[in-house]
Chain A
Amino acid sequence: MVPMFFWAFIVGGLICVIGQLMMDVLKMTPAHTLSTLVVSGAVLEAFGLYEPLIDFAGAGATVPITSFGNALLHGAMQEAEKHGVIGVMTGMFEVTSSGISAAIIFGFIGALIFKPKA
């Protein structure tokens, strides 16, 4: 269990450093950086590299936004194996639904209970 925490810290931290370098060295805006990272996650999973990273680093790989791209592709491929090309559409949000739903639900609740800070 302890090594898993260690690797979650290291891998998660390194992914954030990559993001920081994209912002500082390549002069990308945060929105461009996050979009690129999401696409990178999907591309890594296309070559079957992201799932092994999750097995290795746990939350170090599932918590950074790269896992969103991975999970989208994962859901799409899962359904595509069963239903062919149509499955790419129907399976897209199968795995990521919890993240998107949570964001909408908590975003809405947040808007109801919190006041904007100046």
Chain B
Amino acid sequence: MADHWITQSKAAADAHELKRPVLKNCIKAFLVGGIICTIGQLVTLLLMLYFPFTEQTAGNPTVAIMVFFSMLLTGFGLYHKLGQFAGAGSAVPVTGFGNAVVSAAIEHRSEGLVLGVGGNIFKLAGSVIVFGVISAFIIALIKTVLFQLGVI
């Protein structure tokens, strides 16, 4: 699977750098990212129609279902191909997060369930969780303290 693009170093990215067709890449990212979000919207709509979710609460199960789709596409090696075409268009939606987790898990399966899968499952996606939590923690802390002091 060799899905190391997400951890590729800056040097590797620069070596890639002959002449990036920025506009073409952006159009591809826009189309693929837009289509993935439209599929997400369809999932949200179906959840609201057939399950007791509201517009506010349907976001979370939508994310879970998108990650499930991502598992299938990753398992059959299709997400990697999509990523080569779409760049950020397939990396930025949660399916890209799912792909990072699933591909790391599959790739390290041969090292065993505990050391391989368990130890490496967040190898690629870990930084997203870490920085999300740290930033949310700092902001929430500041807001809470300001709130209790009566500033806001």
Contact = CB atoms under 8 A, between A and B. Distances in A.
B85 interface: no
Contacts of B77: 117
A34 B91 contact: yes
Interface residues of A, number: 83
B128 A13 contact: no
B140 interface: yes
A43 B92 contact: no
Give the interface residue-count category, chain B: 35 or more
A66 B96 CA distance: 12
Interface of B: 1-2, 5-10, 13-14, 17, 20, 22, 25-26, 29-45, 55, 59-68, 70-71, 74-77, 80, 86-89, 91-98, 101-102, 104-110, 113, 116-117, 121, 124-125, 127-133, 135-137, 139-141, 143-145, 147-148
Interface of A: 1, 4-5, 8-17, 19-25, 27, 29-31, 33-35, 37-39, 41-43, 45-46, 54-55, 57-60, 62-69, 71-73, 76-77, 80, 84-85, 87-88, 92, 95-104, 106-118
Given A25-B22, A80-B147, 6 more contacts: A12-B36, A20-B25, A38-B132, A41-B132, A109-B71, A116-B109
